[in-house]
Structure 1
Amino acid sequence: MFDIILTCFGLGEKKKIEEDEMVVFDISRYEENGKPFKVMELPLVAFRNVADFWDPNEQYQLSKLSKKSKATMKLAIKKRPSQLILAPPLKVNFNYSVTGSYHFHQPVYINYGLGNHPRFSPGFLDRCFQTVNDLKDLFNSEFRRIHFFPNHLSWEDLYRIVNWINQDESLPSIPVMTMATIKDNGMFFKILMENLEKNVHNFTIWGMERGQKSLKIRHNFEIKELYVNDTLFLDVDAFTSLKFSRANLRGVDIQSEEINEILMSWKMGRFGEKMELFYAKDIAILHLRAMLIGLEAELRDPRTAKRNILFPDGTPGWLYGGIDVKGANGKTATIWLYSYQSTNEDDPIPEECIQKYENAQRNWNRIAGDDGDPVRDAIFVDTHLTITFD
């Protein structure tokens, strides 16, 4: 046990400090003949002002000295909105919404074992878990995100992390989960998905490539928003194994034939029971014929077909026209092509949109059928593809 000592100079006359009185220390008034005092013995209001000059790392370290110091720090820390991010094995991030991010690094000693899996110091995960719990208690912080680095974790470590998450009663669901790349032909991803027991609101995956063979996954929890980023050769089997409401693909090299496979799987009722949105950004070339073959798609007239929708960013609006595909569950998938989107229900349909629809309608059998070469109107370049389900 030790006391933290601060030396303050030129404090002048002693003044009684009430607990409800704000005290500000002016360092510029300190002089060399000042006397040290024990900061932990300051009245609470004065101590709060001193503690506010320390960053969260310093406040946390002081709270670890003793039960008394922890209790004092909990009373002294000004409660601000904050979030915790668990990013094993390297660190726990603590984010203040205003003042920035602070890192609580864990000591790690790496030895590589069989299969080139990293093996860390035995207690590093326990230290990560303890740090998260301590920060939640000290700062009244919200546990918001878990970030997995498959290349830095063994499967044994992963099982322990998932088990800890499942047992955390203060975390009914996971607000944000991210995973950087799929390794070992997707086995890390498979273990995570098939052992996690809590719903995830926002799940981002960097890299969802096919391995030596496609991956089939069974999981019980649900994903509200799925993001797949920076992926070559999308594993469609893995993608259509997931239970999500909205999917957003960015930097994903997805082909028209793969979109057809996804829609066909949905149409047959094999996946996507609760799917609301599929959005793919910056598809270089979209061959409509390859995407629609076998789906029995119907081209809708934008002048007569109107529906209320949500844009990919969540903004409400209206969709006129589009291409409809009926599913086995009675729902309709609407592809936002040959259509007009507006946030205002009363906007007139642009003449250009009507002309494109009429041109497509005259050639629809050639565009969506299987009896000839694709026509010019069936190829889109540099497009964002949006499909809604209702």
Structure 2
Amino acid sequence: MATTDTPDRPVELPDIEIRAIAKSFNGMTALDEVSFTVERGEFLAIMGPSGCGKTTLLRILAGLETADSGTLLSRGKRIDQIPVHRRNMRLVWQNYALFPHLNVRNNIEFGLKLQKLERRVIDAKVAAIAEMVRLTEFLDHRVTVLSGGQRQRVAIARALVTEPDILLLDEPLSALDANLRVHMQSELKRLQQTLGIAFVYITHNQSEAFSTADRVVVMNRGRIEQIGAPREIYLWPRTRFAAEFVGSNNLLEGRIASVDGNVVSVDCGAGRFFVALPDERLAHGYRPAPKATVTLVIQASKVRGHATGVANENQVTAVVTDTEFTGSQIVQHLRLEDGTALRMIAPDPFSGSTPGPGSTIDVYWSPEDCVLVGPRILPSSQNIPGTKSYVRMGG
């Protein structure tokens, strides 16, 4: 979507427009008419399980694969029919793809030498990017003696030194240990904000996507399930898959019993529960259909072991089947009367008051902490202003 034209500021076309891109391999659909945009200077993460099509989409963007149909544009110009070297995009591979026989300097300057630039220009550009990615002191080191995080920075520097408009990253942190991965997430975000260019980042790790990206694309089986800001996707999943894939959500199947203003009553196997729909969502087309089959989504962190007395507070009796200590919290696994599994996160694992397996407890959650997912909750053509969302309907 282009920005609004003003007398002193021209319209900025998106860095990337992906229009109905489709791709199949041996009769198996990898991408099913995927469409979305990457705005100017945006950090966009594409997230999904293995086989969802995210890497295929990235390879098509980079020019390493050809789509069966659809159109790719960059800043208003078609790029799907031009060669890789003219797209002004660079790809950072999952395995770094460095030259092991070369030192850091030679790896970084490789693309510049192909451009046949003067030596002094190459040296200046390498020095500048090495300082930006904090590799100056390692320029004369062989890449084989570097740590995983340092090698990753070499790969990023080699991609950025040629000054691309867009950087494509294919699960760049997957080979790093947990602590280094968190550090590199911050480094990538810092680099992207400093350079002001678009990053398209492929990952299956939601913490990476949420901590770095301006918007996140959730994909499954070659299709887009949801696009939005990390907070929006986490709090308001739009499809059952998004609710299952993102966060620690409980899913209860049910049928809408009644609608009273913004309060929806849903009959589930374990009882009747209430959902409060935000006013702005009702104002923009959210209309639950009577007797419709829906999925009730409740974050595990919103389930409590005590009542607060809010209007229409949900309550249900459960049996504790297991407790899981994660360091910063305890996850309690519960079973409801109808056999439905439920999770509750206890934020204080050291309180010593957490009920153990076999205990029967009452748990509660507020109507405002529920989300409804179902084919008739949201019109397929309707987006909420300000969210830049695309929603594929589905239960």
Say whether the fold is shared (TM-score over 0.5).
Answer: no
> TM-score, normalised to structure 1's length?
0.30
> TM-score, normalised to structure 2's length?
0.29
- Which structure has the highest helix share of the two? 1
